[in-house]
A and B are shown apart, each in its own frame.
Chain A
Amino acid sequence: MFELSTETLWLLLPLIPGLPLMAAALVAIFGHRLGERSHLPVLLAVAGSAIFGFLALMHVRGMGAHQAPNAVFNYANWFEAGNLRVDWELRLDSLSAMMAAMVSFISLWIVLFSAGYMHGDPGYPRYFAAVGLFVGAMNTLVLANNLPLLFLGWEGVGVCSYLLIGFWFAKPEAAKAARKAFLVTRLGDVALLAGMILLYRAGDPVGLSYDTIFSHHYDATTLYWALVCLGIGAFGKSAQFPLHVWLPDAMEGPTPVSALIHAATMVTAGVYLLARMLPPLAGHAVTAAQLESIGAFQDLVLVSGGVTALLAALIALGQTDLKRILAYSTLSQLGYMFMALGAGTTKGNVECHSLASAAAAAAVFHLFTHAFFKALLFLSAGSVMHAMGNVLDLRRIGGLRKLLPITHICFLVGALALAGLPPFSGFFSKDGILEVLEQGAHSGGSRGGLQHAMLWLGLITAGLTGLYTMRAYLLTFWGKERIPEEAGHHAHESPAVMTIPLAVLAVPAAFIGLALGPTHLFGHFIQASPGWHAAETHAFAWKLAAVGLGAAAAGIAVALALGDRRPSRKPNGLAETARSGFFIDDVYTAFFAKPLEQFGRLLNFLDRELVDKLFELFARIPGWLGESLRPLQNGLLQYYALAMALGLVVLIAMFTLAR
């Protein structure tokens, strides 16, 4: 069995976020000297993170079910005041090790891809500095052992997302999209802050560490509202309805960034947070009221996830831009993960804990496979973009399978995984989600009905996913060859620095689901995290899997039947509604953004023109007083001297008498 000594782990763990952060600092400071070599420090550092992450993962795996209840490494105090203490402390358990290894591994290949994709961009060093910072912050987020430190990573990845969406800042759309992404997620972040305040108010006020939170008995109301606040934070970061509007616009960033931040890693932070919190809290819930609180919160997650999954799939159908289709598919798949997190029961303590753990494991498994195949899809789209002169409009490109053979195969693998066909990885993780929903629906208790409905919704979405994915694939790679004029005359397959990452990511996208899903390797490993209910091995649910597969296959069949019929350029009511994202953006602009802006301008105007004038009126009073007292100021020096002397006498008298 592979095992590392505590000292080794103590040294190795902080390097997982530390190396990329150091590389980012290096590139930020010396970028102008490094120039076109700026990717090297970041590449090496992320490779180091990936290796260390993998070693940590192997270590945890080696410990098996005998995982130390809390392998926490405390390095130093971050800040402390009164009874609130927050430390630099990292946590090593199945969940954090898996996330750190996955994030670093995928980042490594995306950084390599970027070296080719961003070649020749004047902002080359700036790009890699931001990516390095991102990987460091993301690893901090997943390895943190307390909420404020998680928040450090959480905001850190948000800042990197902001900087990278707005990477081409001279484009007004990019600047706008960056601002929107920052502000919408910021809304969620403020809620996360509120959640921390609630937990601190009610809890053991020692630093908001996970273990102190999990071992405290919160009263049902606090538990519910704290979870709701954390949940809103998660909705914002993971772009769940109603805070999903920023993600499609985020596609203004360079495509590798979309792959890394807006598909594989950062947007799954919300899923990670809830998977981190829910199983131990469910395990610690004793009273019926506490169980109800968790159940009520899970219902909220379920509805938000379900609505997002379906809505985004419908919107994806109406899109004509390959990257936006992928963006909406990310929303939809994240919706699946939240649906999984919502699966549970309020029937009993053990059942609640067991199902919540299985549900979180299913969500995290889908997070895991999705990271590979969605990163693959986005990078393939990037490769297409690279060849097509940055055009991804499906009305203008097509039939590229001969021109881009490697990209074609890789995209196909990703698409099949996304559509959920066996043996590709998406099939098994999606099936896992349907399975926990079915268990929740049949487990009794008050929450069965909603989960049953969500199960159906999940199946419908599976069909829609098959449809839009296959359609995007067919329109891009089959039919008559269409190459836009922006591509020039020498459109060609991407260089090896870009195709190698594609090929590498295609392997897990194809097989990792089969390797880890039906074998229960993933579930057993994750559910060995301290505070989780150990996984129970059960038979593969063939019936449900068949229904899910049928839905996906139906969608794919429709796509095949539609063939090469391109979306028309003529406006069409229904398609337009879907394309616009059901006008949710417009509603927010009209009822939220605009009124706020108007109010700000109005208040500023009133402040300058009205409040100020009012106070000037007050300021005149001394003037009027002065007018009335003017006779005293008669210019006679003796008079002044007399007044001064009198004043002095009064003062001295006052002080002497007061003693």
Chain B
Amino acid sequence: MDWNLAFLPFIPALPFVAGLAALFTRNRSLASGVVLISTLLSVGLAIAVTMDRNRLVFDAELNGSALTAGQPHFEVGALFGGKISSVRLGVDGLNAGLVLLTGLVGALSVVASSGLKLDHANRYFGLLGILIGLTLLAFLAQDLLVFYVAFELTLIPLFLLVGSWGGPNRQAASLKMVIYTLAGGFLTLLGILAIVVQSNGGLDFGWESLARKAAVESTLVAPGRMAPGLIFLLVCAGFVVKIPLVPFHSWQPAAYAEAPTPVTAFLSAVLAKLGLYGILRVAFFLLPGEAATLGVTVLVPLAVLSILYGAFCAYGARDLKSLLAYGSISHLGVALLGLLSFNRVGVEGAMLHMLAHGVITAGMLFTAGMLFEREGTLQFSGLGGMAARHKLLSAFMVLFALASVGVPGLAQFGGEFLCLMGFLGSAEYGQGIAVAFGVLAGIFLGGWYTITMLQKVLFGPLKVHEENSARGLGVADWAILVPLGVLTIVLGLWPKPVLSASRVESGYLERQVQRTETSRLASR
């Protein structure tokens, strides 16, 4: 075992433990400081491990090994005497970028919360730390049980954060979020149990061994067992709610609008990706045959519907946060299409798209939060001409907005372009045309609602609200905006590291899906 693999458990543990500790402090700045420093530390550790992983993947490619040969992972003892599961953590091409994103956005959310007026601030920061830690655990888990447990446990701090520190309708919003996500998550649990039980490997929840078994599809389809198609749908259910896709989205606009803005940023930039990530890692890798058939039939229409529906609803939104909520639905539909291409172009593009969307949407929401601190509202009716009063803030908002429109040279373009090329470049003719019209219309509409939003918020005559609101950017604001702004540009000009990070895994998925396709054709 490589020496720095021993760091792996500390990546989620640091913010989690710091969060727990912060719950019992009295001092606000102590609480936020502990959580911030521990999160930054785990970002540092994640960078160290990821660098190491790049070397390992490179070796693995040279040796022509299969899927995850040489993937660093770390096992902590075995639960239940090794019979059921052990806590396996690891970094691979699917989660490396997302782990870094979680750490970064998590840390920035802590910074962004420093300006909030909070009662019981220590609890707020403690819960935020716990949320960050659990999310990191979910991304790092190489074992379905740990993944699922962490995935569900994130709901507890999230519920408390939204329900206690959110806007006026916080309780209804947080309750709705929990009910939805729990209902979806329950179905996912059934699906995961079915995969594990039916894969004839006893109760091995290890993802890697399951993925290897998935190559032999017949194990799942023995007579008298749950149909793989049903399992696929069950597994997807929880993730589809988490992304969310239309029509399973109605918890999301309320939750985004009511949550404290830094929490909304974390929710949108990171937790929504957990849904896409789950679909990719669990549903697609473990059920490649179903993914290529049933998955395409069911998920492609949902993705296109989400793209269009989200865009139209975003245009109709009356405040900035719910516009971003609907916009997120629309954007993530494109990423899902990329994943559904099952080729390297689309899957790698989708990985880039997820990261880029995380960076940009976090940037948008943090700037929105700063605007709220200064103007006291995010309703379009109360904003206008802000570019005259908040020059630098507006410049950053324009940057993030243009990036989210998909201007090349900025982060979103590469991912969006590759998702389109991957999916439409290989789609069958008829389906391709229909999807192309939907997606391209969606991309146009994305420009439409975003540019209109800029016009409403930033341009035109100045609407006067709070006096003294014209203060410049503080240190905390710079600390948030500069990294995100720089990443927005760097990911646009040099997306290569992100794309190449997942090439082994996406190549594996491509071959898997092709193989099941061929065997299906042969069996006919």
Contact = CB atoms under 8 A, between A and B. Distances in A.
Nearest to A611: B250
Interface residues of chain A: helix, strand, loop or mixed (majority): helix
Interface of B: 83-84, 176, 179-180, 197, 202-203, 247, 250, 253-254, 309, 312-318, 326, 343-345, 348-349, 352, 385, 387-388, 398, 402, 405, 407-409, 414, 417-418, 420-422, 424-425, 432, 436, 440-441, 443-444, 447-449, 451-452, 454-455, 458-462, 493-496, 499-500, 503, 506, 510
Given A183-B447, A601-B315, A607 B425 contact: no
A503 B250 CA distance: 64
B455 A197 contact: no
B247 A611 contact: yes
Given A183-B447, A205-B425, 13 more contacts: A80-B499, A82-B422, A159-B402, A170-B388, A178-B455, A190-B443, A193-B417, A193-B420, A193-B443, A596-B315, A600-B313, A619-B176, A655-B203
B225 to A, nearest CB: 12
A68 interface: no
B253 A81 contact: no
Given A166-B459, A187-B444, A655-B84, A607 B250 contact: yes
A605 to B, nearest CB: 7
**Which 8 A-B pairs give the minimum distances between C-beta atoms?**
A604-B316, A82-B344, A600-B315, A175-B459, A81-B348, A82-B345, A169-B459, A601-B316
A133 to B, nearest CB: 10
A517 interface: no
30 contacts: A79-B352, A79-B414, A79-B418, A79-B495, A80-B499, A81-B422, A82-B343, A82-B344, A83-B345, A84-B345, A84-B421, A162-B451, A169-B460, A170-B461, A183-B447, A600-B315, A600-B316, A603-B309, A603-B313, A604-B313, A604-B314, A604-B316, A604-B317, A604-B318, A607-B250, A607-B313, A611-B250, A615-B250, A616-B176, A658-B202
A571 interface: no
A169 B458 contact: yes
A186 B345 contact: no
B395 to A, nearest CB: 8
Nearest to A610: B250
A194 interface: yes
Contacts of A194: 436, 440
A611 B305 CA distance: 15
A197 B499 contact: no
Interface residues of chain B: helix, strand, loop or mixed (majority): helix
A600 B312 contact: yes
Contacts of B326: 604
A531 interface: no
Interface stretch (A147-155, A431-439, A475-483, A547-555): A147-155
Contacts of B424: 197, 201
Contact of A604 (B312, B398, B448): B312
A80 B203 contact: no
A489 to B, nearest CB: 30
A616 B180 CA distance: 10
Contacts of B448: 183, 186, 596
A81 B349 contact: yes
Contacts of B180: 615, 619
Contacts of A573: none
A607 B253 contact: yes
Interface in A188-209: 190-191, 193-194, 196-197, 200-201, 205
A382 interface: no
A190 B250 CA distance: 29
Contacts of B422: 81-82, 84
Given A169-B460, A172-B461, A603-B312, A156 B447 contact: no
Contact of A197 (B309, B352, B420): B420
A602 interface: yes
A612 B203 contact: no
Contacts of B348: 81-82
Contacts of B84: 655
Given A600-B312, A607-B313, A612 B455 contact: no
